[in-house]
Amino acid sequence: MLVLHLDLRYSLTFTAARAAHTTLSDLATRTSIIIPAFNEAHAVGTLVHALRSTATWKEILVVDDGSSDETGERAASAGARVLKHPYNKGNGAAVKTGIRNATGEFVLVVDADGQHQPDDALRLVNRLADYELVVGARSAATQASTARRLGNFALNRIATFMSGRPIPDLTSGFRAAHRDRILEFLHLVPNGFSTPTTTTLCFIRAGYSVDFVPIHAAQRQGRSKIKLGSDGARFFLILLKVITLFSPLRIFVPVSLTLLTGGAAYAVWTIATQSHVTNSSVLLILASIVTFLIGLVSEQIAALRFERPR
Protein backbone atom coordinates (compact mmCIF):
# COMPACT_ATOMS: atom_id res chain seq x y z
CA MET A 1 0.00 0.00 0.00
CA LEU A 2 2.86 2.37 0.89
CA VAL A 3 4.67 1.52 -2.33
CA LEU A 4 1.52 2.23 -4.33
CA HIS A 5 1.13 5.60 -2.58
CA LEU A 6 4.76 6.53 -3.30
CA ASP A 7 4.43 5.45 -6.93
CA LEU A 8 1.27 7.51 -7.33
CA ARG A 9 2.87 10.60 -5.75
CA TYR A 10 5.97 10.23 -7.95
CA SER A 11 3.77 9.79 -11.01
CA LEU A 12 1.76 12.94 -10.22
CA THR A 13 4.93 14.94 -9.56
CA PHE A 14 6.51 13.74 -12.80
CA THR A 15 3.34 14.49 -14.75
CA ALA A 16 3.14 18.05 -13.33
CA ALA A 17 6.82 18.68 -14.09
CA ARG A 18 6.44 17.33 -17.61
CA ALA A 19 3.35 19.52 -18.15
CA ALA A 20 5.22 22.63 -16.95
CA HIS A 21 8.16 21.79 -19.23
CA THR A 22 5.79 21.22 -22.14
CA THR A 23 4.12 24.60 -21.55
CA LEU A 24 7.51 26.32 -21.40
CA SER A 25 8.69 24.56 -24.55
CA ASP A 26 5.43 25.49 -26.27
CA LEU A 27 5.98 29.18 -25.47
CA ALA A 28 9.52 29.00 -26.84
CA THR A 29 8.40 27.39 -30.10
CA ARG A 30 5.97 30.30 -30.57
CA THR A 31 8.64 32.95 -29.90
CA SER A 32 10.71 34.84 -32.44
CA ILE A 33 14.03 36.08 -31.05
CA ILE A 34 15.11 39.46 -32.44
CA ILE A 35 18.75 40.50 -32.19
CA PRO A 36 19.54 44.04 -33.43
CA ALA A 37 23.22 44.15 -34.29
CA PHE A 38 25.64 46.81 -35.49
CA ASN A 39 29.29 45.77 -35.83
CA GLU A 40 28.91 42.89 -33.36
CA ALA A 41 30.80 40.21 -35.33
CA HIS A 42 32.86 39.36 -32.24
CA ALA A 43 29.81 38.29 -30.21
CA VAL A 44 26.75 37.59 -32.37
CA GLY A 45 27.75 34.09 -33.55
CA THR A 46 28.39 32.87 -30.02
CA LEU A 47 25.09 34.37 -28.86
CA VAL A 48 23.07 32.67 -31.61
CA HIS A 49 24.70 29.30 -30.86
CA ALA A 50 23.96 29.68 -27.13
CA LEU A 51 20.31 30.62 -27.73
CA ARG A 52 19.79 27.68 -30.10
CA SER A 53 21.18 25.29 -27.50
CA THR A 54 18.89 26.70 -24.81
CA ALA A 55 15.53 25.88 -26.45
CA THR A 56 13.74 25.25 -29.73
CA TRP A 57 12.63 28.70 -30.84
CA LYS A 58 10.24 29.65 -33.62
CA GLU A 59 13.12 31.54 -35.26
CA ILE A 60 16.14 33.68 -34.47
CA LEU A 61 16.26 36.92 -36.45
CA VAL A 62 19.44 38.97 -36.54
CA VAL A 63 18.92 42.44 -37.98
CA ASP A 64 22.26 43.62 -39.38
CA ASP A 65 21.94 47.39 -39.06
CA GLY A 66 24.39 48.40 -41.78
CA SER A 67 27.43 46.78 -40.16
CA SER A 68 30.85 47.24 -41.75
CA ASP A 69 32.21 43.98 -40.31
CA GLU A 70 31.09 40.33 -40.68
CA THR A 71 28.11 40.56 -38.31
CA GLY A 72 25.57 39.26 -40.84
CA GLU A 73 27.79 36.45 -42.15
CA ARG A 74 28.65 35.12 -38.67
CA ALA A 75 25.01 35.27 -37.57
CA ALA A 76 23.91 33.36 -40.66
CA SER A 77 26.60 30.71 -40.23
CA ALA A 78 25.44 30.22 -36.64
CA GLY A 79 21.93 29.43 -37.85
CA ALA A 80 20.08 32.75 -37.64
CA ARG A 81 17.87 34.31 -40.27
CA VAL A 82 19.56 37.59 -41.19
CA LEU A 83 17.81 40.79 -42.28
CA LYS A 84 20.10 43.55 -43.52
CA HIS A 85 19.75 47.32 -43.52
CA PRO A 86 21.63 49.03 -46.37
CA TYR A 87 22.96 51.58 -43.89
CA ASN A 88 22.96 52.20 -40.13
CA LYS A 89 19.46 53.33 -39.09
CA GLY A 90 19.67 52.88 -35.33
CA ASN A 91 18.84 50.27 -32.70
CA GLY A 92 15.14 51.15 -32.66
CA ALA A 93 14.85 50.85 -36.44
CA ALA A 94 16.51 47.41 -36.28
CA VAL A 95 14.07 46.25 -33.59
CA LYS A 96 11.12 47.50 -35.65
CA THR A 97 12.38 45.63 -38.71
CA GLY A 98 12.66 42.47 -36.65
CA ILE A 99 9.16 42.79 -35.16
CA ARG A 100 7.59 43.47 -38.56
CA ASN A 101 9.26 40.40 -40.07
CA ALA A 102 8.78 38.06 -37.10
CA THR A 103 6.40 35.14 -37.57
CA GLY A 104 6.07 34.12 -33.93
CA GLU A 105 3.18 34.91 -31.61
CA PHE A 106 5.71 36.31 -29.13
CA VAL A 107 8.94 38.26 -29.60
CA LEU A 108 12.05 38.32 -27.45
CA VAL A 109 14.54 41.16 -28.01
CA VAL A 110 18.14 40.34 -27.06
CA ASP A 111 21.13 42.69 -27.35
CA ALA A 112 23.93 41.35 -29.54
CA ASP A 113 26.79 42.50 -27.28
CA GLY A 114 26.91 39.40 -25.07
CA GLN A 115 25.53 41.00 -21.90
CA HIS A 116 22.40 38.86 -21.62
CA GLN A 117 22.47 35.26 -20.44
CA PRO A 118 20.72 32.84 -22.84
CA ASP A 119 19.35 30.86 -19.87
CA ASP A 120 17.40 33.97 -18.80
CA ALA A 121 15.61 33.98 -22.16
CA LEU A 122 13.38 31.08 -21.11
CA ARG A 123 12.64 32.76 -17.77
CA LEU A 124 11.34 35.87 -19.54
CA VAL A 125 9.34 33.98 -22.18
CA ASN A 126 7.77 31.74 -19.54
CA ARG A 127 6.18 34.83 -17.93
CA LEU A 128 4.32 35.70 -21.16
CA ALA A 129 1.55 33.31 -20.13
CA ASP A 130 0.50 35.93 -17.56
CA TYR A 131 1.98 39.21 -18.81
CA GLU A 132 1.98 41.15 -22.08
CA LEU A 133 5.49 42.54 -21.52
CA VAL A 134 8.32 41.03 -19.47
CA VAL A 135 11.51 43.03 -18.90
CA GLY A 136 14.82 41.68 -17.70
CA ALA A 137 15.70 44.06 -14.87
CA ARG A 138 19.46 44.36 -14.31
CA SER A 139 20.87 44.84 -10.84
CA ALA A 140 22.80 48.08 -10.33
CA ALA A 141 26.04 46.16 -9.73
CA THR A 142 25.96 44.67 -13.25
CA GLN A 143 25.72 48.03 -15.05
CA ALA A 144 28.81 49.37 -16.77
CA SER A 145 29.96 52.37 -14.73
CA THR A 146 29.06 54.59 -11.79
CA ALA A 147 27.91 57.38 -14.12
CA ARG A 148 25.71 54.93 -16.06
CA ARG A 149 24.22 53.59 -12.80
CA LEU A 150 23.41 57.10 -11.56
CA GLY A 151 21.87 58.04 -14.91
CA ASN A 152 19.72 54.92 -15.03
CA PHE A 153 18.71 55.40 -11.39
CA ALA A 154 17.51 58.95 -12.14
CA LEU A 155 15.57 57.82 -15.22
CA ASN A 156 13.99 54.96 -13.26
CA ARG A 157 12.83 57.33 -10.51
CA ILE A 158 11.39 59.84 -12.99
CA ALA A 159 9.64 57.08 -14.94
CA THR A 160 8.23 55.63 -11.71
CA PHE A 161 6.74 58.99 -10.76
CA MET A 162 5.31 59.72 -14.19
CA SER A 163 3.86 56.26 -14.81
CA GLY A 164 2.63 55.59 -11.27
CA ARG A 165 4.27 52.14 -11.32
CA PRO A 166 7.62 51.07 -9.84
CA ILE A 167 10.11 50.66 -12.71
CA PRO A 168 13.40 49.05 -11.60
CA ASP A 169 15.05 49.14 -15.04
CA LEU A 170 13.67 51.45 -17.72
CA THR A 171 16.45 51.03 -20.28
CA SER A 172 16.99 47.26 -20.34
CA GLY A 173 16.98 46.01 -23.94
CA PHE A 174 16.29 42.41 -22.84
CA ARG A 175 12.51 42.02 -23.06
CA ALA A 176 9.76 39.68 -24.24
CA ALA A 177 6.30 40.68 -25.41
CA HIS A 178 3.18 39.61 -27.24
CA ARG A 179 3.85 40.62 -30.84
CA ASP A 180 0.32 41.88 -31.51
CA ARG A 181 0.51 44.15 -28.45
CA ILE A 182 3.86 45.70 -29.31
CA LEU A 183 2.68 46.33 -32.88
CA GLU A 184 0.14 48.80 -31.44
CA PHE A 185 2.97 51.11 -30.35
CA LEU A 186 5.52 50.47 -33.08
CA HIS A 187 4.86 53.85 -34.72
CA LEU A 188 5.91 55.56 -31.46
CA VAL A 189 9.25 53.76 -31.22
CA PRO A 190 12.16 56.03 -32.28
CA ASN A 191 14.93 54.79 -34.52
CA GLY A 192 17.64 55.45 -31.93
CA PHE A 193 18.48 53.99 -28.51
CA SER A 194 15.14 54.55 -26.79
CA THR A 195 13.10 51.49 -27.74
CA PRO A 196 13.09 50.04 -24.17
CA THR A 197 12.02 53.38 -22.66
CA THR A 198 9.18 53.86 -25.12
CA THR A 199 7.79 50.33 -25.06
CA THR A 200 7.89 50.04 -21.27
CA LEU A 201 5.98 53.28 -20.70
CA CYS A 202 3.53 52.59 -23.53
CA PHE A 203 2.58 49.17 -22.12
CA ILE A 204 2.17 50.53 -18.59
CA ARG A 205 0.10 53.57 -19.59
CA ALA A 206 -2.05 51.44 -21.92
CA GLY A 207 -3.00 49.26 -18.97
CA TYR A 208 -1.24 46.08 -20.08
CA SER A 209 0.38 43.73 -17.58
CA VAL A 210 4.12 44.36 -17.25
CA ASP A 211 6.54 42.25 -15.22
CA PHE A 212 10.16 42.91 -14.26
CA VAL A 213 12.31 39.79 -13.81
CA PRO A 214 15.68 40.25 -12.03
CA ILE A 215 18.61 39.18 -14.21
CA HIS A 216 22.38 39.30 -14.07
CA ALA A 217 23.94 41.13 -17.03
CA ALA A 218 27.50 40.23 -17.96
CA GLN A 219 30.10 42.79 -19.00
CA ARG A 220 29.42 43.77 -22.62
CA GLN A 221 31.89 42.74 -25.31
CA GLY A 222 33.28 45.74 -27.21
CA ARG A 223 32.51 49.41 -26.61
CA SER A 224 29.07 50.77 -25.82
CA LYS A 225 27.45 52.77 -28.61
CA ILE A 226 25.39 54.87 -26.18
CA LYS A 227 26.78 58.30 -25.23
CA LEU A 228 25.76 59.17 -21.68
CA GLY A 229 25.36 62.92 -22.25
CA SER A 230 23.48 63.22 -25.54
CA ASP A 231 21.60 59.91 -25.33
CA GLY A 232 20.71 60.51 -21.66
CA ALA A 233 19.06 63.82 -22.58
CA ARG A 234 17.31 62.09 -25.49
CA PHE A 235 16.00 59.34 -23.18
CA PHE A 236 14.57 62.01 -20.86
CA LEU A 237 12.85 63.86 -23.73
CA ILE A 238 11.34 60.63 -25.06
CA LEU A 239 10.15 59.79 -21.55
CA LEU A 240 8.35 63.16 -21.40
CA LYS A 241 6.93 62.60 -24.89
CA VAL A 242 5.46 59.19 -24.07
CA ILE A 243 3.96 60.33 -20.77
CA THR A 244 2.45 63.36 -22.54
CA LEU A 245 0.90 61.01 -25.08
CA PHE A 246 -0.63 58.69 -22.50
CA SER A 247 -0.98 60.61 -19.21
CA PRO A 248 -0.47 64.37 -19.74
CA LEU A 249 -1.73 65.43 -16.31
CA ARG A 250 1.30 63.74 -14.74
CA ILE A 251 3.31 66.60 -16.24
CA PHE A 252 0.85 69.49 -16.45
CA VAL A 253 -0.51 69.29 -12.88
CA PRO A 254 2.90 69.62 -11.13
CA VAL A 255 3.87 72.48 -13.45
CA SER A 256 0.53 74.20 -12.85
CA LEU A 257 0.79 73.81 -9.07
CA THR A 258 4.36 75.17 -9.11
CA LEU A 259 3.26 78.28 -11.01
CA LEU A 260 0.21 78.75 -8.78
CA THR A 261 2.25 78.38 -5.59
CA GLY A 262 4.90 80.79 -6.83
CA GLY A 263 2.33 83.38 -7.94
CA ALA A 264 0.29 83.16 -4.73
CA ALA A 265 3.39 83.33 -2.51
CA TYR A 266 4.73 86.34 -4.41
CA ALA A 267 1.32 88.04 -4.19
CA VAL A 268 1.20 87.54 -0.41
CA TRP A 269 4.74 88.92 -0.07
CA THR A 270 4.03 92.02 -2.17
CA ILE A 271 0.78 92.72 -0.31
CA ALA A 272 2.64 92.49 3.00
CA THR A 273 5.58 94.62 1.90
CA GLN A 274 4.17 96.91 -0.81
CA SER A 275 0.42 96.89 -0.08
CA HIS A 276 -0.51 95.78 -3.63
CA VAL A 277 -0.45 92.81 -6.01
CA THR A 278 2.11 93.00 -8.81
CA ASN A 279 1.58 92.06 -12.44
CA SER A 280 4.11 89.25 -12.06
CA SER A 281 1.93 87.54 -9.46
CA VAL A 282 -1.16 87.81 -11.68
CA LEU A 283 0.75 86.44 -14.69
CA LEU A 284 2.04 83.46 -12.74
CA ILE A 285 -1.44 82.61 -11.46
CA LEU A 286 -2.96 82.99 -14.93
CA ALA A 287 -0.17 80.83 -16.38
CA SER A 288 -0.96 78.10 -13.85
CA ILE A 289 -4.65 78.14 -14.85
CA VAL A 290 -3.84 78.03 -18.58
CA THR A 291 -1.34 75.20 -18.03
CA PHE A 292 -3.91 73.17 -16.09
CA LEU A 293 -6.57 73.69 -18.79
CA ILE A 294 -4.11 72.62 -21.51
CA GLY A 295 -3.41 69.52 -19.44
CA LEU A 296 -7.13 68.71 -19.25
CA VAL A 297 -7.52 69.02 -23.01
CA SER A 298 -4.41 66.90 -23.56
CA GLU A 299 -5.79 64.25 -21.20
CA GLN A 300 -9.01 64.07 -23.23
CA ILE A 301 -7.06 63.76 -26.48
CA ALA A 302 -4.93 61.00 -24.96
CA ALA A 303 -8.07 59.14 -23.86
CA LEU A 304 -9.32 59.09 -27.46
CA ARG A 305 -6.34 56.90 -28.39
CA PHE A 306 -7.90 54.02 -26.51
CA GLU A 307 -11.54 54.55 -27.51
CA ARG A 308 -11.05 53.80 -31.21
CA PRO A 309 -11.67 50.19 -32.27
CA ARG A 310 -8.54 48.11 -32.88
Strand partners, 134: 176, 211
Q: State the pLDDT at residue 240.
A: 74
Write down the CATH number for the domain with range 23-246.
Answer: 3.90.550.10
The residue among 254, 282, 291, 223 whose CA lies nearest residue 39 is 223
Which pLDDT band holds residue 213 (cuts at 50, 70, 90)?
Answer: very high
The mean-pLDDT minimum among 61-65, 125-129, 159-163 falls in: 159-163
- Cα–Cα distance for residue pair 75/84, rounded to 1 Å: 11
Handedness of CA 140, 181, 55, 111 (dihedral sign): negative
Q: What is the pTM of this model?
A: 0.75
- The secondary structure of 200-229 as a DSSP string is HHHHHHTT--EEEEEE-PPPPSS-----HH
Which pLDDT band holds residue 259 (cuts at 50, 70, 90)?
Answer: very high
pLDDT, tens digit, 9 for 90 and up, residues 43-55: 999 999 999 999 9
Domain ranges of the chain: 23-246, 249-304
- Cα–Cα distance for residue pair 88/117, rounded to 1 Å: 26
Q: Is the pLDDT score of 251 beyond 50?
A: yes
Higher pLDDT among residues 114 and 19, named by residue: 114
By CB atoms closer than 10 A (0-12, 13-18, 19+), residue 219 is exposed
CA dist 238 → 185, 197, 199, 268 (Å): 14, 8, 11, 38
* Cα–Cα–Cα angle for 41, 57, 106, rounded to 5 degrees: 100
Q: Is the pLDDT score of 225 beyond 60?
A: no
pLDDT, tens digit, 9 for 90 and up, residues 150-193: 777 777 887 787 778 889 988 888 999 999 999 998 988 888 77
The residue among 23, 110, 16 whose CA lies nearest residue 63 is 110
The residue among 34, 28, 32, 55 whose CA lies nearest residue 103 is 32
- Cβ-Cβ contacts under 8 Å for 229 (sequence gap 6 or more): none
